[in-house]
Structure formats: structure tokens, C-alpha cells
Structure 1
Amino acid sequence: MSTMHVLYYDENYDYAGEEDIDSDTLPPNSTDVVPDPSIISPRFDLKKNIWIEAATDEYKESIKPEPPAPNEVEALQKQVADIYYLLAMGGS
């Protein structure tokens, strides 16, 4: 008997956890196929024996982090650039 890493999926084939087990056979609703790390919401495609993306585009957009606020130096650089632009355009 050997140790293997298995990934479980639920009745909808959505990822449901993983663990190392001491067995030579896969338990029901599991695979030893590891999903691509870029997949946000893995769903197992039993026919193709691969993990696919289950997250919708709307969900992916909703979890994108907000861009960081500019730090003080960047804010000052923008102000200076704006002043130079105004001066170049005639000062108003």
C-alpha cells in the first residue's frame, strides 16, 4: 500500500477538498488529477479527466481586487505632471 494525494468532488463535480490517503485505489468521487492553479472554482470533468473552470465571468470580476491607491510620491508626481500640462497648454 502506498500514500497518494486525492482531490474530492461533490455530486455536482465541484472541488470538495483533498487529502493524502494510504491506499492504492481512489475512493468514490475523487481523482489524483491536480487542477491548474489559475482555476478559481474547479469542477471535475469526468469524461475528459480534467478540472475545468466553473466560475462565471461575473464572479471573476466581482473578486478582482481594487487597484491600490497611489502612494504619496505617485500622487505628487501626478500633480506635477498636471501643472506642467496646464503650463504647456497656456496656463489656464
Structure 2
Amino acid sequence: MIWVYKYDQNYVWQAGEEIEVDIENGEQVPEGYTQTQPTDGLYIAKYDPDKEAWFESATQEYIDSLQPAPCPPSDIELLKQQNADLLQQLAESEKRAEEQSKTTAELVMLLTEKGVI
């Protein structure tokens, strides 16, 4: 006994319509069936009788349409992103404050050298 896999007039696999054939007792594989098992992971399996192989016939657009929409970020993920943004802003503010302090020190030194203060 072997399993055979049905395809329609366009050679598209008809999932769930597999049957067992007893070729040892002389049964023939019926028309529209093949002994070649469809490959796992195909979205729309199509049979090529010349190559005796199944291939993917679904378009990438169709495959993409079957993928679930991404979930919105959780509250924790949002808080993590906000925290990272705030830390970045804080680092930038500290850098600016350091640069400003340096500039002020240089100005005081120049004014002192010139005798203004």
C-alpha cells in the first residue's frame, strides 16, 4: 500500500484527498494522482508531471498576506524605548553643559589675561 496525492486540472495539490493504493495487488495510481509527496512548507503546491516534483506556485504577495500583522508594542516595550530616549537626551544635555562650562572657563581666562577682570 502506498499513499498517492491528488492534484486538480491545473496540477494544484488537493490537500486532504490523499488515498492509499495497493500496487502490490495490481492497483494502478489513478489519473490526477501522484506517488510523489508534496514538500512541506509549500503554500500552494503545484505538481510538475515532467519533473515528477512539487513546487511553490503562490506569489510572494499571497504568502505575505497570510502572515499575521505585527503586534503593537507592549507597555513595557514602550517604557523601555522612552527610557532609552530620555537617557540619550540626558547624555546630550550633559555634553552640552560640559562644552558650555569649558567655553565659560576659556572666556574668563581670556578676560583675565586682557585685564578686564
TM-score (normalised: structure 1): 0.80
Q: Which structure has greater helix proportion?
A: 2
Q: Deviations over 1:17-43 (max 9, x none)?
A: 332324213111111212221211100
Q: Which residue of 1 aligns with 2:35?
A: 32
Give unmatched runs, 5+ long, in structure 1: none
Rounded to whole Å, the distance in 1 between the matches of 2:47 and 2:3 is: 16
Q: Flag the structure with higher strand content.
A: 1
Alignment match, 1:62: 65
Structure 1 residues 42-65: Cα deviation after superposition (integer angstroms, max 9, x where no partner): 000111001011101221222222
Q: How many residues align?
A: 89
Distance 2:50 2:56 in 1: 15
Q: Is the Cα–Cα contact under 8 Å of residues 38 and 45 in structure 2 kept in the other structure?
A: yes
> Is the radius of gyration larger for structure 1 or structure 2?
2
The aligned residue for residue 84 of structure 2 is 81
Q: Which runs of 4+ in 1 moved over 4 A?
A: none
Contact kept in structure 1, 2:44 and 2:57, CA below 8 Å: yes
**Unaligned stretches of 5+ residues in structure 2:** 95-117
Query: Is the aligned partner of 1:21 residue 2:24?
Result: no
Conservation of the 8 A alpha-carbon contact between 2:38 and 2:54:
yes
Residue of structure 2 aligned with 1:12, choices 7, 10, 13: 10
- CA distance in 2 between counterparts of 1:36 and 1:82 reads 47
Q: Secondary structure at the match of 1:90?
A: helix
Q: Which has the higher contact order (CA 8 A, sep 6+)?
A: 1
Is 29-38 or 48-57 further displaced after alignment? Answer: 29-38
